[in-house]
Amino acid sequence: MNAQTPAGMAVPPVVPAADLPADAERFDVVVVGFGIAGGCAALEAARSGARVLLLERAAVHGGTSSMSGGHFYLGGGTAVQKATGHDDTVEAMARYLMESTKDPDEEKIRAYCAGSVAHFDWLEALGFEFERSYFPGKAVIQPGTEGLMFTGNEKVWPFRDEVAPAPRGHKVPVPGDTEGTKIVMDLLRDRVEEAGVEVRYETGATNLVVDAGGTVTGVAWRNFDRTGAVAAAAVVLAAGGFVMNADMVAAYTPALGEKLFTLGSTYDDGLGIRLGQSAGAALEHMDEPFITAPFYPPSSLVKGLIVNNRGERFVAEDSYHARTSYFVLKQPGAAAYLIADSDHMDEQRMPLVPLKDGYETIEEMEAGLKLPPGSLTATMARYNEHAARGEDPDFHKHPDWLAPQTNGPWGVYDLTLGTALYAGFTLGGMATTVDGEVRRPDGSVIGGLYAAGACASNIAQDGAGYCSGTQLGEGSFFGRRAGIAAAARARAATR
């Protein structure tokens, strides 16, 4: 069996089904990768009655999911939304996601929103509870264990005029912005084991087994020096994104290769995507990264203004941090400065955007930042004049975040790429149906092949529209759907 682990852009060759030994092990469903997507797929497939094998390349379960902060983007009237007095509906959630996503997949968004409350309940039934509490501030993630906050652009213009805003960022009850999801992954492991899934660690899928008609019928694997292959009625690829693969990043999302802090784990090398390609998978949104350098907390800095190196504003500063970053990266030289006066500077609790300097006068600041003469003076005069009236005719920043920046000295925070510490991960992946079936470029589905999580493309598709929690949310939601559909295929095959 040809069981190598190709690096870079290499697409692993498929193993012809005819080469599979007659006595090869046989499972109903093989799931590749034990992160949130693979764990949920395996659990639902097993609960549907399938005999499931879960292959994990690492020595433990969890992948990038275990490293993550723990935001799940859920709504439509979850128990936390209700307990904290936030009205939300399936329709409002769907309309918001439709409006804020660049190339929305309506079928998937509608399914995700319609199933969101039930999915919230399913997640809690793993054995934890989201705290019934709300964090009202502007932060990357709740500082404590508060269960809910705004993690998108719901209150940002133009979205707030189109759909009534509701907070949907549900955080697992663990403080901090990393490793919160580990509790979910540990519970998922327990439930997966209880359900009878066979999990093999340190066993990476290396190739897909494909029959003459193009149907996927198994997986080849490697465990240290041992190699082998198993037959399956359905294979679910849930092997993570590609932020750790320098060649794929250079080819698809070069911005992620620039002095960036990569948000990923070792095996985010795109092998899942390349396995899909080997069977003919179409890829979607591969050029869309999530990139961000949050400058808040403290919330007070949101009242400042952001200018580019022409001294012009270009974004509503109250945008979700990744949306702000998306527009920063589109400015000349990817350069931008956040300016706050003495009344609005506070201790930085997210020091990714460094304080460049302090200036006694606006003229001195303009010269110090080498901005065109008169540019910053004019921009600040206009901003301050309107902010004093609670207005922002240029970018419609919410009145809650408008305040004149008139009380010098002024602090300048440098958002420029290469100076501020940008972090990111990839959003693109295999094109799939709402049930995780992998599509070919012509839209037809590849028999026997499913995908979910960061190696698939679902509702989180573009950096400007991203809401924190959509990766874990869609990975778990569409992972479950893929597992159920894969088990149904296996059942149908035995009839």
Ligand X SMILES: Cc1cc2nc3c(=O)[nH]c(=O)nc-3n(C[C@H](O)[C@H](O)[C@H](O)COP(=O)(O)OP(=O)(O)OC[C@H]3O[C@@H](n4cnc5c(N)ncnc54)[C@H](O)[C@@H]3O)c2cc1C
229 scored as a contact of ligand X (CB under 6 A): no
Q: How far is CA 182 from the centre of its chain?
A: 16
* Of 67 and 355, CB closest to ligand X: 67
Q: In this structure, what token pair is assigned to residue 363?
A: 């003229």
Near ligand X in 333-392, by CB under 6 A: none
Classify residue 451 by burial, with Cβ atoms within 10 Å: 0-12, 13-18, 19+: buried
Pairing of strands 169-171, 216-223: unpaired
Classify residue 187 by burial, with Cβ atoms within 10 Å: 0-12, 13-18, 19+: middle
Crossing angle of helices 470-494 and 106-114, in 10° steps, is 90
Give least dist CB 64 to ligand X, A. 3
The site that binds ligand X (CB under 6 A) totals a number of residues, namely 42
Q: In this structure, what token pair is assigned to residue 54?
A: 């879960």
- As a whole number of angstroms, the distance between CA 96 and CA 110 comes to 11
58 scored as a contact of ligand X (CB under 6 A): yes
Site string for ligand X, 142-171 (x = CB under 6 A): ------------------------------
Q: Which position among 238, 260, 335, 352 is part of the footprint of ligand X (CB under 6 A)?
A: 238
Alpha-carbon torsion, ordered 94, 62, 277, 229, to 10 deg: -140
227 scored as a contact of ligand X (CB under 6 A): no
- As a whole number of angstroms, the distance between CA 229 and CA 78 comes to 43
Write b or e for each residue in 43-64: b if 16 or more Cβ atoms lie within 10 A of its Cβ, otherwise e: bbbbbbebbbbbbbbbeebbbb
Give least dist CB 347 to ligand X, A. 23
- As a whole number of angstroms, the distance between CA 495 and CA 487 comes to 13
223 scored as a contact of ligand X (CB under 6 A): no
Q: Which position among 12, 70, 76, 289 is part of the footprint of ligand X (CB under 6 A)?
A: 70
77 scored as a contact of ligand X (CB under 6 A): no
| Phi and psi torsions of 103, nearest 5° | -130, 65
Site string for ligand X, 271-310 (x = CB under 6 A): xx--------------------------------------
413 scored as a contact of ligand X (CB under 6 A): no
Give least dist CB 449 to ligand X, A. 14
Residue 27, H or E segment: strand 25-32
- Which region, judged by CB under 6 A, interacts with ligand X, from 11-19, 66-74, 115-123, 330-338? 66-74
Q: Which position among 76, 152, 165, 204 is part of the footprint of ligand X (CB under 6 A)?
A: 204
Give least dist CB 115 to ligand X, A. 16
Region of 104 (left: φ > 0; alpha: ψ -120 to 50; beta: rest) is beta
* Of 371 and 455, CB closest to ligand X: 455
Instruction: Return the bridge partners of 128, or none.
Output: none
- Which region, judged by CB under 6 A, interacts with ligand X, from 92-100, 110-118, 268-276, 366-374? 268-276
- As a whole number of angstroms, the distance between CA 288 and CA 423 comes to 14
Q: Which position among 81, 100, 265, 319 is part of the footprint of ligand X (CB under 6 A)?
A: 265
Q: Which position among 469, 478, 483, 487 is part of the footprint of ligand X (CB under 6 A)?
A: 469
69 scored as a contact of ligand X (CB under 6 A): yes
Site string for ligand X, 3-42 (x = CB under 6 A): -----------------------------xxxxxxx----
- As a whole number of angstroms, the distance between CA 219 and CA 417 comes to 41
Nearest to 31 by CA among 3, 9, 63: 63
- Which region, judged by CB under 6 A, interacts with ligand X, from 56-64, 190-198, 309-317, 433-441? 56-64
Q: Which position among 205, 220, 244, 256 is part of the footprint of ligand X (CB under 6 A)?
A: 205
475 scored as a contact of ligand X (CB under 6 A): yes
The binding site for ligand X (CB under 6 A) comprises: 32-38, 55-58, 63-65, 67-71, 178, 204-205, 238-240, 263-265, 267-268, 271-272, 425, 453-454, 468-473, 475
